[in-house]
Amino acid sequence: MSFGNTIMTGHFLQVCDLAQEALLELLERAQSLETAFHVREVPCLLKGKRIALSFEDGGFRNRVAFELGIRLMGGEAVFVPGRPGQKEPAGDMARYLSNWFDAIVVRTPEYGVVEEMAGVASVPVINARTRHNHPCEILGDLAFVRKIRGGLDGLKVVFVGEPTNLCHSWFEAGGSLPMEVVQVCPPGYEVETGTCARLSRQAVGRLRISHDLNQELKDADLVYTDCWPGRATPQDAAEVAKVFAPYQITAALLKLTPASCVFLPCPPVTRGEEVSEDAMASPKCRVYEAKAYLLHAQNALLATLLA
């Protein structure tokens, strides 16, 4: 995986493909589209545009938000059957789709597949999710936090968990924005040194790793969780539970955070694992309203790339 700056060629594969100014402009646009959505006056920014949607796995929020957003903005969405790279090279698929569509949205496990398609497509390719990263999800979360906070400068994000695709995309966001992103995890579950170093080299913000959950929560502006590591056997499940139990976010732990702190557990949430039932009931948990911004951020992204 080369992780180039693909936004220069019109693609969006990772959050840091957008430089700070461009990312802030996109989030501002998402906010204006959110306002238009609530008065049912979404502008037809995609009128006459055709977008291919290739979704290999589940995740209804991501897919529904893309389809609804495209329709609201006057475009046409077509779902593409099959799996990129399964029966023919993903690059071939991208070339064929480029003949008919103005953009290709791809959700597939392998980042390399999306990168291969972006390398040959003559239209913008958007990464809707891979196992490595999940940039559109983080765009939506950033749009929500910016709206309720008034800005993102100085934001401290505490990501609790192993280095999942969402963790990587929060680190990508810290590469473009003046904020601090901290992964808090048990020893042995840190973001790969190479990934952290690559993003830190030219990062606008500060990226780091910690094992001290209580200390990091004291000045957190945003607490974010993702699911616990996969377990192949009952023995694996018992070991994961033992190691990660001290890192479960509870209502008691949320009381350590500042009054303005927001808790966003990434869905699907497993109560009793990464979060407790009482944490989900905390007034600091605003995940349901936050995920509304996935639609608006993805709308802003499409409108920007296809302007």
Tens-place pLDDT, residues 241-261: 999 999 999 999 999 999 999
**What are the domain boundaries of the chain?**
6-134+293-305, 135-290
Query: Given a cut of 70, is residue 3 above it in pLDDT?
Result: no
Virtual torsion, Cα 163, 169, 173, 179, nearest 10 deg: -30
Query: Given a cut of 60, is residue 206 above it in pLDDT?
Result: yes
Please write the tens of the pLDDT for every residue from 22-61: 999 999 999 999 999 999 999 999 999 999 999 998 789 9
3-state secondary structure of 41: coil
Let me know if 155 is exposed, middle or buried by CB neighbors in 10 A (0-12, 13-18, 19+). buried
Asked if 149 and 264 count as a contact pair (C-beta separation under 8 A), the reply is no
Token pair, residue 125, equals 């390719």
272: left (phi over 0), alpha (psi -120 to 50) or beta: left
3-state secondary structure of 266: coil
CATH superfamily of the domain spanning 135-290: Aspartate/ornithine carbamoyltransferase (3.40.50.1370)
Domain 6-134+293-305 has CATH 3.40.50.300: no
Whole-number Å distance between alpha carbons of 227 and 160: 9
Whole-number Å distance between alpha carbons of 38 and 41: 8
- Please give the pLDDT value at position 33: 98
Asked if 94 and 117 count as a contact pair (C-beta separation under 8 A), the reply is yes
Query: Given a cut of 80, is residue 17 above it in pLDDT?
Result: yes
Query: Given a cut of 80, is residue 1 above it in pLDDT?
Result: no
Whole-number Å distance between alpha carbons of 61 and 55: 12
- Please give the pLDDT value at position 74: 98
- Please give the pLDDT value at position 169: 97
Please write the tens of the pLDDT for every residue from 216-240: 999 999 999 999 999 889 999 999 9
Query: Given a cut of 80, is residue 192 above it in pLDDT?
Result: yes
Q: Do domains 6-134+293-305 and 135-290 have the same CATH topology?
A: yes
Query: Given a cut of 80, is residue 166 above it in pLDDT?
Result: yes
Instruction: Kindly give the pairing relationship between strand 206-210 and strand 180-184.
Output: parallel
In what side-by-side order are the strands of the sheet with 206-210? Answer: 206-210, 180-184, 156-160, 222-225, 262-265
At residue 4 the predicted structure's pLDDT band, cuts being 50, 70 and 90, is: very low
